[in-house]
């Protein structure tokens, strides 16, 4: 047993961290509507960097133009993106779109889209939610009829900038199916949504007879969607972890330098214990995330349980770290100018993106029940 990333993977992390240094302000620019804001930060150059460095195609096979590394490498990158609140559609394109295509699209579809993703030419997204409430099979109204898609999806993460979407829809038999839709066609309209976190794009996508290609077998849609979510959860947990760690680092730094009552605030136990609680939550999240990463790489039966645990722990840690980071900064933490609120925004965004914490706790217990039954 070896429960850590390899030397190569740690090198990848260091390389990524260094390469991202010039982009430390990208999320802020996106927030302020500066040069990095159009298309969710693509303009800042971070997206092209991700393409040039081979990060977009890290887990895409070489025959499709990728680098052919594994999911563990994606986990390493995710943590680095999370740390700097990267304002780019990496998670939608890579964890959701490309990974789902690799799991259930045919060879030709994969060849076309994966090559585009790896080259940084295509942004993808996953569209399931149709409005308020938890996504569940009975609530899906989007429908595929005669190869055309009808209905609407909202909110769709990165739906504003995506070139293609994987959509959860009913097919003619009434069963669910994932379908692939190119978004630059007549029959697709988008409405950009304002969300809690302006540094990441969201849209409502409406389909009125858009050409759509079914993925996977008829009736497989819900199962494929849940497995897609498990993979996204395992990877997103690392983004959340990176964000949480960044909050703790900020809070510790501030607690050492800010003085009150003639001493650094970090020498007050109320602050110390708060930061220790953040550390404990982050370590719990990190351990669960590592197991999720391993299960993802293995691609076996453990994934559902491991991904759910990773996600529950990561959402908890990031939410806690983000809010207590504000508290540690006092009045300064409540300003627009301090970055604290950007982490609060992102923490919540990521916590609900593929299902809120309560949904994942329930999934986790279901997985536990299943593993108990053998």
The residues of the shown chain that bind other proteins, judged by CB under 8 A, are 1-6, 72, 248, 252, 255-256, 263-264, 266-267, 269, 271-273, 275-277, 279-280, 283-288, 290-291, 293-294, 297, 308-309, 312-313, 316, 358, 360-362, 364-365, 368-369, 372
Question: Shortest CA distance to 352 belongs to which of 191, 138, 197?
Answer: 197
For other proteins, the closer CB: 72 or 157:
72
CB 263, min distance to other proteins, A? 6
For other proteins, the closer CB: 32 or 362:
362
CB 320, min distance to other proteins, A? 13
For other proteins, the closer CB: 150 or 360:
360
CB 328, min distance to other proteins, A? 11
> Quick one: residue 262, left, alpha or beta (phi over 0 = left, psi -120 to 50 = alpha)?
left
For other proteins, the closer CB: 222 or 360:
360
CB 59, min distance to other proteins, A? 15
For other proteins, the closer CB: 184 or 373:
373
For other proteins, the closer CB: 173 or 263:
263
CB 253, min distance to other proteins, A? 10
CB 133, min distance to other proteins, A? 15
For other proteins, the closer CB: 171 or 297:
297
Question: Shortest CA distance to 198 belongs to which of 60, 30, 360, 316?
Answer: 30
Q: CB of 179 within 8 A of CB of 212?
A: yes
Report d(CA 214, CA 312) in Å as an integer: 31
Report d(CA 190, CA 205) in Å as an integer: 5
Give the chain's radius of gyration (CA, Å): 20
CB 268, min distance to other proteins, A? 9
CB 4, min distance to other proteins, A? 5
- Name all contacts of 30-38 with Cβ < 8 Å and 24+ positions apart: 30/87, 30/198, 30/199, 31/198, 31/199, 31/342, 36/87, 37/87
Q: CB of 303 within 8 A of CB of 371?
A: no
Instruction: Note the residue count of the chain.
Output: 374
CB 306, min distance to other proteins, A? 9
For other proteins, the closer CB: 162 or 248:
248
Task: Note the maximum CA span of the chain.
Answer: 74
- Beta-carbon contacts of residue 265 (< 8 Å; ≥ 6 apart): 254, 255, 258, 259, 271, 328
For other proteins, the closer CB: 4 or 194:
4
Report d(CA 214, CA 225) in Å as an integer: 13
Query: Backbone phi, then psi, for 58, in 5-degree steps?
Result: -50, -45
Q: CB of 332 within 8 A of CB of 257?
A: no
């Amino acid at each position: 047993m070896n429960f850590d990333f390899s030397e190569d993977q740690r090198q990848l992390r260091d390389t990524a961290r260094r390469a991202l240094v010039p982009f430390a302000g990208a999320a802020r620019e996106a927030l302020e509507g500066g040069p990095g804001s159009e298309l969710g930060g693509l303009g800042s150059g971070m997206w092209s960097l991700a393409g040039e460095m081979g990060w977009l195609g890290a887990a895409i096979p070489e025959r499709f133009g990728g680098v052919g590394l594994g999911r563990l490498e994606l986990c390493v990158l995710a943590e680095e993106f999370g740390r700097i609140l990267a304002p780019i559609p990496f998670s939608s394109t890579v964890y959701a779109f490309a990974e789902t295509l690799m799991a259930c699209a045919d060879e030709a579809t994969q060849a076309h889209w994966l090559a585009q993703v790896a080259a940084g030419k295509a942004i993808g997204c996953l569209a399931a939610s149709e409005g308020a409430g938890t996504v569940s099979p009975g609530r899906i109204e989007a429908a595929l009829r005669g190869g055309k898609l009808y209905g609407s999806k909202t909110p769709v993460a990165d739906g504003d900038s995506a070139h293609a979407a994987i959509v959860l829809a009913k097919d003619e038999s009434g069963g669910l199916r994932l379908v692939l839709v190119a978004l630059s066609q007549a029959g697709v309209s988008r409405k950009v949504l304002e969300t809690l976190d302006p540094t990441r794009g969201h849209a409502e996508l409406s389909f009125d007879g858009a050409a759509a290609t079914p993925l996977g077998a008829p009736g497989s849609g819900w199962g494929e969607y849940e497995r897609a979510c498990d993979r996204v959860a395992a990877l997103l947990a690392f983004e959340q972890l990176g964000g949480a760690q960044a909050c703790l680092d900020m809070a510790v730094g501030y607690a050492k330098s800010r003085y009150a009552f003639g001493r650094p605030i970090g020498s007050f136990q109320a602050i110390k214990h708060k930061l220790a609680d953040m550390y404990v939550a982050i370590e719990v999240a990190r351990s669960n995330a590592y197991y999720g990463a391993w299960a993802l790489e293995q691609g076996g039966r453990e994934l559902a349980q491991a991904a759910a645990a990773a996600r529950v722990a990561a959402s908890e840690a990031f939410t806690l770290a983000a809010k207590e980071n504000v508290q540690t900064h006092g009045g300064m933490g409540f300003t627009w100018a301090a970055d604290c609120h950007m982490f609060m925004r992102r923490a919540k965004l990521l916590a609900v993106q593929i299902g809120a914490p309560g949904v994942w706790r329930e999934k986790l217990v279901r997985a536990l029940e299943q593993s108990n039954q053998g």
